[in-house]
Amino acid sequence: MKIYVDGGSRGNPGPSAAAYVIKNGAKFVSWNGVYLGNDKTNNFAEYQAIRLGLLKAIELDIRIVEIFSDSQLVVEQLNNRWKTKSPSIVKQINEINELLTNFSSFKISYISRENNQIADFLVNITLNSVAEQ
């Protein structure tokens, strides 16, 4: 299964949301956008999108996943190629690594924003719906 994720923050930090889309080939299996609050960063939101997508995949008993993110920073950090000193990001990385132990196989890859339009759209819909309230 492929999990497309995106996180966004308007203001960085500011109002933030995370979204995931799980697909099996061309078939949409699950998708969701979640509002994260008014004081989160883009990176925090991106990690939360991965976390939420993995939790849903576990719930659906999916055991092989490929995660796609348009954040090169997040992809490189999760693949242990780039380091981070931020305690909150280290905590998120540790949580994600723990979730990944539920999968028999996983891969985390970078994709361009143009190839991640559905997850990006869900983030923006989520942020817009909160802003309208």
Question: Could you state, in chain order, the average pLDDT of each consecutive group of 10 residues for the chain (133 residues)?
Answer: 97 96 98 96 97 98 98 97 92 97 98 97 96 67
DSSP state of 82: S
Which of 25, 122, 16 shows the shortest CA–CA distance to 66? 25
Q: What is the pLDDT of residue 132?
A: 67
Q: What is the pLDDT of residue 111?
A: 98
Q: What is the pLDDT of residue 119?
A: 98
The domain limits of the chain are 2-131
Q: What is the pLDDT of residue 99?
A: 98
From CA 108, how far away is CA 66, in angstroms rounded?
6
Q: Can you give the pTM of this predicted structure?
A: 0.96
Q: What is the pLDDT of residue 130?
A: 86
Q: Which CATH architecture has domain 2-131?
A: 2-Layer Sandwich (3.30)
From CA 11, how far away is CA 127, in angstroms rounded?
12
